[in-house]
Amino acid sequence: MAAHLHLAHSRRDGERPGGGETSGDGLIRVVLADDHAAVRRSLRLLLDREHDVVVIAEAQDIPAVGRQVEDARPHVLVVDLNMPDGSSLETIGRLRERSPGTQVVVTTMDENPVFAQRAFAAGALGYVTKELADEELPQAVRAAARGEQFVSPRVAAPLEALHRALTDEVLTAREVEVLRLIALGHTSAEIARKLHLSPRTIETHRAHIHRKLGLATRAELVRYALGRGLVS
């Protein structure tokens, strides 16, 4: 798990990325991976506007991501969290081993801090929400090229709250995830669908949460989650 996450600062006009690897011409070489062509096109247009970033290749599936990274050895891989033909998180770990000079920025529509925590644990340096990509992605790419972490401001506070909850070592990461969804008003059936688990498994997690926290009602769980900053 990443120890401490911070937001990268915007680059001042004329400033080059410092402290990280760039190409001989000072450009940050990027491979862009997303299974939706329209999204790739939009993100490429966004990055092409940056004078210090160049998109050298695109990939639409996990096998292509592996080929492009191993062939091109980019400074930064920008990859969608939910590629349809494989686990992006598992791919991050494998590619970081094969191309240690390539840093990873994850793009996603999901603001769940558990996914952000998993992405950073897998070796990513950036977690960007697609809704705010215009503002966040260039910053995240530059931060990754410098070897710095970037987390979307929308995710930063709940992610820090998740870290605090896990540091207490009372609940497991999965139990914290279930607790958040309970506090957000989801039923066990809805949580099971979201987490791709059986309703019985969710009920078991709920029982463990109640027992470990010594809380008897859903209202008490909601107050606990609010007090911990797991939900707002």
Q: What class is the 168-228 domain? A: mainly alpha
Name the residue with tokens 């004078």.
51
Rounded mean pLDDT, 6-13: 37
Q: What is the pLDDT of residues 92-106, one digit of tens each?
A: 888 888 898 999 999
Q: Is a pLDDT exceeding 80 seen at residue 35?
A: yes
Best mean pLDDT range from 46-55, 162-171, 180-189? 46-55
Q: What is the pLDDT of residues 185-202, one digit of tens each?
A: 999 999 998 888 899 999
Rounded mean pLDDT, 155-176: 80
Contacts of 2 (CB under 8 A, 6+ apart): 117, 120, 121, 149
User: What is the pTM for the complete model shown?
Assistant: 0.69
Contact by Cβ (8 Å): 143, 125: yes
Fold observed for domain 28-153: Rossmann fold (3.40.50)
d(CA 182, CA 23) in angstroms, rounded, equals: 48
* DSSP code at position 49: T
CA distances from 192 to 99, 165, 188, 205, 213 (A): 36, 22, 6, 11, 21
User: What residue ranges do the domains of the chain occupy?
Assistant: 28-153, 168-228
Give the type of residue at 157: A
Q: Is a pLDDT exceeding 70 seen at residue 62?
A: yes
Nearest to 50 by CA among 140, 129, 131, 152: 140
Looking at residue 127, what is its pLDDT? 95
Q: Is a pLDDT exceeding 90 seen at residue 223?
A: no
Determine what percent of the chain is predicted with pLDDT higher than 90: 47
Question: What average pLDDT does the chain have?
Answer: 84
Per-residue pLDDT band for 6 (boundaries 50, 70, 90) equals very low
Q: What is the pLDDT of residues 105-146, one digit of tens each?
A: 999 988 888 888 888 888 899 999 999 999 999 999 999 999
| The two three-digit tokens of residue 167, written as one number | 């540091």
CA distances from 224 to 78, 175, 202, 221 (A): 36, 13, 19, 5
Contact by Cβ (8 Å): 117, 1: yes
